[in-house]
């Protein structure tokens, strides 16, 4: 399951439809660009709470997936705790891939 989804994350990054890091994701959320927020399973509790609260407040679905190191390595960074998918098609496709692989804890805010 993981490799296919991590590769898809890399594709979204190359397309320019994915933001990473706390500041960039927070900006996208506030500007209404985010369609799905991906939070690393090993993100700090403060980071999880911050982005879950923001997502719920703005009605953005979010999912816990992967580790900071794995997410980062597939987008060319050392690690990252949070990603913002800024395209409806990519967001829907990512959720579908997670569902097809039996591992979806997608929260519709």
Give the residue extent of every domain in the chain.
2-107
Residue 108, pLDDT score: 54
To the question of pTM greater than 0.75 for the whole model, the response is yes
Which segments in the chain show pLDDT lower than 70?
Answer: 1-2, 103-109
CATH homologous superfamily, domain 2-107: Ribosomal protein L30/S12 (3.30.1330.30)
Closest CA to 75 of 29, 12, 23: 12
**Cβ-Cβ contacts under 8 Å for 43 (sequence gap 6 or more):** 68, 81, 82
Helices (H), ranges, the chain: 2-15, 22-30, 45-58, 68-73, 88-100
Structure confidence at residue 1 (pLDDT): 47
């Amino acid at each position: 399951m993981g490799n296919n989804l991590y590769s898809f994350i890399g594709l979204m990054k190359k397309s320019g439809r994915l933001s990473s890091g706390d500041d960039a994701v927070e900006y996208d959320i506030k500007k209404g660009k985010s369609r799905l927020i991906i939070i690393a399973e090993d993100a700090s509790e403060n980071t999880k709470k911050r982005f879950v609260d923001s997502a719920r407040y703005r009605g953005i679905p979010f999912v816990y997936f992967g580790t900071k190191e794995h997410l980062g390595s597939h987008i060319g960074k050392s690690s990252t705790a949070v990603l913002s998918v800024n395209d409806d098609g990519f967001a829907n496709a990512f959720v579908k891939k997670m569902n097809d692989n039996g591992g979806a804890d997608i929260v519709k805010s």
